[in-house]
Amino acid sequence: MGPQWIQTGMPGIKRDPETLLPVVVDDEQADALVEGDDPCNAVVVLIARGHYREAAELVADTRLSDPQNIRMRMLDTDLMRAMGRTRPAIKRLRGLLDEFKGTSHEAMMHQYLGILYYTEGDLTAAEHRFERAKELHTESGAPERRIELARRSLEAVKRREALVR
């Protein structure tokens, strides 16, 4: 039996329960996302496939034409993480969190920050961010898959903490 993938709400893309990163699980569906109308979906697929240059070009084009696209701004930090620039990604995302505190975007920003901290190995900070994301998603009545992502992210932290002890 394979991994118990975490749902993303994007056809052909799941999250790995150990790394918490997006993974292409169906190439055909992922190709359709790249060819579709939402550049954010395409960026997720490109990052998952390791096509960072293409992802960076799409991020830049979208940020130029739609500078307030919050999802693309968050994906820009995920691209930085994928390219090994986790510290600057954390700094940028913390700035976004300050900018959007108290909005409907705050919970996902905590989730993204948690993933960045988790990737970096700062399990205490990751746990704090995932807890906050779960709280905010639950309070706001977010889709179940978002609450599940926060919950499963917390489980990943606990598993990794147990390995470190």
Structural domains of the chain, ranges and CATH numbers in brackets: 6-164 (1.25.40.10)
Copy the structure tokens of residue 103.
Answer: 């909005």
Rg (CA), the chain: 15
Contact 112, 100 (CB under 8 A): no
Q: Is the pLDDT of residue 2 over 80?
A: no
The pairing of beta strand 13-15 with beta strand 6-7: antiparallel
Residue 80 pLDDT > 90 = yes
Cα–Cα dist 33/79, whole Å: 17
Question: Mean pLDDT over residues 32-41, rounded?
Answer: 96
Which tens digit of pLDDT belongs to each residue from 5-35?
Answer: 999 999 999 999 999 999 999 999 999 999 9
User: Is 118:133 a contact under the CB 8 Å cutoff?
Assistant: no
pLDDT attached to residue 58: 97
